[in-house]
Structure 1
Amino acid sequence: MLISRVVAPRTSRIHEEPTPEPAPGQVLVEIVASGVCTSDLGPWLSGPADGQPPIELGHEITGRVVATGSATSRWRTGELVTGLGGPGFASHAVLDDDLLLPVPAGIEPAHAIGEPIATLEEAISRTPLSPGSRVAIVGLGFMGLGLLQLARSRMPRTIIAVDPNPEARARALSLGAEVVLHPDEVPAFVAADGTGAADPRADVVLEATGVTRGLATASPLVRPFGTLCVVGYHHTGDAPFDMELWYKGATVVNGFCPDHPRVMRAMTDALGQVASRAFTFAPLITHRFGLDRVDEAYALMADRAPGFVKAVVEP
């Protein structure tokens, strides 16, 4: 099998090694598509520490089953599956039986990567987003535009989308947002009318930036007794709590979920939306690369290149 590993900052190299054998409770898949995730950007930028082995990345996998670890496996050779596991930047991977789901019939494999949409669905399922709600989404990258589609399926009254990038705001409009704002426009928007039925603030605000300034933009958009769901991946730096949320009686939801069973339940629901075409990856996957071009995918993400939303690696 072939596997791409990060050997130095911003530098990956393909290695060849024996294809692993699945143990009981596992399957071996030939990887068809693997999403490039912002959570792996840091390791790619920094590379392995001195004396440490190369870094294996990729955890958003769609693949075809080529072998099972036992005759009683619920999977059969040739089935297309998606789920949790890795490393994904390789020609093959061994994955756990119970962390996989079938790719919906008629859906392109790259448009059925389960892990990222499952994390979004799990987060949004824990917010009180009901028909008629007023919803704001801060950050319109891949995660934010995915949240927009999942929020739209809940039949909100209004979707407000916030991002500094005009391309991202245009995409949000095409996916169903009614109001789009640059972050600098948020203070004036919130101040337009802060009382009664005309309050422009949102019942639910979904933060999908992963940076402190995104949290600072999201907090004023929450109405009194509203909800802020922090979906962005805040893995570095400070993420201070805005005390105005406390004074407003707002609820803050941690959008991260470490529990695999919960994520798999959310993946089932999310893939159902993919199957019904309520959610589509088509406008979100903007770039595709072979295994030998993983670094190009990460560079586009790091540089926030024009036209870029999400890349997939297709070994």
Structure 2
Amino acid sequence: MKISQLVGRRTSEVVTADDPVPADHQVLVDVLACGVCTSDIGAWRDHDPAGAPVRLGHEMVGRVVGAGRDAGRWVPGDLVTGLGGEGFATRAVMDANAVLPVPAGIEPAHALGEPVADLEEALSRTGVGPGDRVAVVGLGFMGLGLVQLAKRHAPGLLIGVDPDPARRRRALALGADLVFAPNTLPEEYRSDTGRATDARPAIVLEATGATGGLRTAGSMVRPFGTLGVVGYHHTGDAMMDMDLWYKAVTVVNGFCPDRTRLVAAMRETLALIAERRFSYEPLITHRFGLDDVDEAFRTLEAAGPDFVKGVVLF
């Protein structure tokens, strides 16, 4: 097989390696698509060339070509997505207990199970329900995914916040009712105006991965509301606004370390994809080959106005 591996800072190489052998509870797949995730960008930027090569990629869709002794429910030809690693490769192994079938008629690039499962699992712990005022701060891939997922709960108002006008336009197309840049956010959505009815959102979903985004999100949530920190804060200290304490806000950590919960959320979101109630089509904007993994990360890092998410295709 061929596999891309990090050999230095911002530098990958494609090498030939033996096919991995599935353990008892694993399946071997021909990788068809693997998403390029923000959580891997730190390793790509900083890998020490003196260290051992590092193999990235965990948002996989693949076709089963073999199965371990205890993974016989999966047979060659099954198209699956789920939790795995070292996915920037022509072949990879995946946990047989953490993969699910790809819905019929959905192309591999539009069936990445892991990233949308992360969003759904986080959203499920915020208590969002019909009629709630909801805001999504940060309208990149995660934020636009949250807009789609939140919209199905029939919020009374769905607000998107992002400095990029292209991202705001995408959010409107995907179901947001109102969109604002952070510096144009009306006062009624970020402070107590003294009105009898508080216009601030009951649930605010932060999807920026930056302290500035957390600050904006914290300013918007109403007293006794919920702040869901879904963004990936992978460097430094994320400073929390202590006004959240005085507002009695519930803060939900959007990260989920439990694979069982993620697989359950993945089952839910794959059903939404099958029903065309969630779509990757407007989110996958860039496609790359295995030789172009560094270009994929450079494009993710630059995040221009035409970029939402990249995927490596095989």
TM range, smaller chain: over 0.9
Q: 1:83 to 1:191 in 2, by over 3 A?
A: closer
User: Residue 112 of structure 1 aligns to which amino acid in structure 2?
Assistant: A
Distance apart, 1:45 and its partner CA: 1.1
- Does residue 11 of structure 2 align to residue 11 of structure 1? yes
Distance apart, 1:193 and its partner CA: 6.1
Whole-angstrom CA distance in 2 between matches of 1:305 and 1:11: 21
User: Residue 182 of structure 2 aligns to which amino acid in structure 1?
Assistant: P
Distance apart, 1:70 and its partner CA: 2.2
The answer to whether the 8 Å contact 1:186/1:221 transfers is no
- Does residue 214 of structure 2 align to residue 248 of structure 1? no
Identity of aligned residues (%): 57
User: Residue 40 of structure 1 aligns to which amino acid in structure 2?
Assistant: D
SS of the aligned residue for 2:166 comes to helix
Whole-angstrom CA distance in 2 between matches of 1:307 and 1:123: 26
User: Residue 219 of structure 1 aligns to which amino acid in structure 2?
Assistant: G
- Which stretch has the larger CA shift, 133-142 or 63-72? 63-72
The answer to whether the 8 Å contact 2:191/2:200 transfers is no
User: Residue 3 of structure 2 aligns to which amino acid in structure 1?
Assistant: I
- Does residue 95 of structure 2 align to residue 96 of structure 1? yes
Distance apart, 1:51 and its partner CA: 3.0
Whole-angstrom CA distance in 2 between matches of 1:121 and 1:92: 28
The answer to whether the 8 Å contact 2:141/2:283 transfers is yes
Q: Where do 1:87-166 residues align within 5 Å?
A: 87-166=86-165
Whole-angstrom CA distance in 1 between matches of 2:295 and 2:19: 26
- Does residue 56 of structure 2 align to residue 40 of structure 1? no
Distance apart, 1:275 and its partner CA: 0.8
Distance apart, 1:95 and its partner CA: 1.1
The answer to whether the 8 Å contact 1:187/1:220 transfers is no
Whole-angstrom CA distance in 2 between matches of 1:270 and 1:197: 38
User: Residue 176 of structure 1 aligns to which amino acid in structure 2?
Assistant: G
The answer to whether the 8 Å contact 2:149/2:278 transfers is yes
The answer to whether the 8 Å contact 2:191/2:220 transfers is no
The answer to whether the 8 Å contact 2:7/2:49 transfers is no
Superposition TM-score, scaled by structure 1 size: 0.97
RMSD, matched Cα: 1.4
The answer to whether the 8 Å contact 2:58/2:87 transfers is yes
SS of the aligned residue for 1:53 comes to coil
Distance apart, 1:197 and its partner CA: 5.5
Whole-angstrom CA distance in 1 between matches of 2:310 and 2:278: 18
Whole-angstrom CA distance in 1 between matches of 2:192 and 2:244: 18
Q: 1:157 to 1:248 in 2, by over 3 A?
A: same
User: Residue 128 of structure 1 aligns to which amino acid in structure 2?
Assistant: G
SS of the aligned residue for 2:264 comes to helix
User: Residue 11 of structure 2 aligns to which amino acid in structure 1?
Assistant: T
Q: Where do 1:11-30 residues align within 5 Å?
A: 11-30=11-30
User: Residue 183 of structure 1 aligns to which amino acid in structure 2?
Assistant: P
Task: Give the corresponding residue for 1:221.
Answer: 220
User: Residue 53 of structure 1 aligns to which amino acid in structure 2?
Assistant: A
**Where in structure 2 are there 5+ consecutive unaligned residues?**
none
1:144-188 CA distance string (max 9 Å, x none):
000000000111111100001010000000001111010112363
The answer to whether the 8 Å contact 1:288/1:313 transfers is yes
Whole-angstrom CA distance in 2 between matches of 1:38 and 1:187: 30
The alignment of Structure 1 onto Structure 2 pairs a total of residues equal to 314
Distance apart, 1:191 and its partner CA: 5.8
Q: 1:24 to 1:249 in 2, by over 3 A?
A: same
1:76-99 CA distance string (max 9 Å, x none):
100100000111100000111101
Distance apart, 1:241 and its partner CA: 1.9
Superposition TM-score, scaled by structure 2 size: 0.97
Q: 1:50 to 1:9 in 2, by over 3 A?
A: closer
Distance apart, 1:240 and its partner CA: 1.4
Whole-angstrom CA distance in 2 between matches of 1:227 and 1:71: 42
Whole-angstrom CA distance in 2 between matches of 1:41 and 1:150: 25
Whole-angstrom CA distance in 1 between matches of 2:269 and 2:22: 27
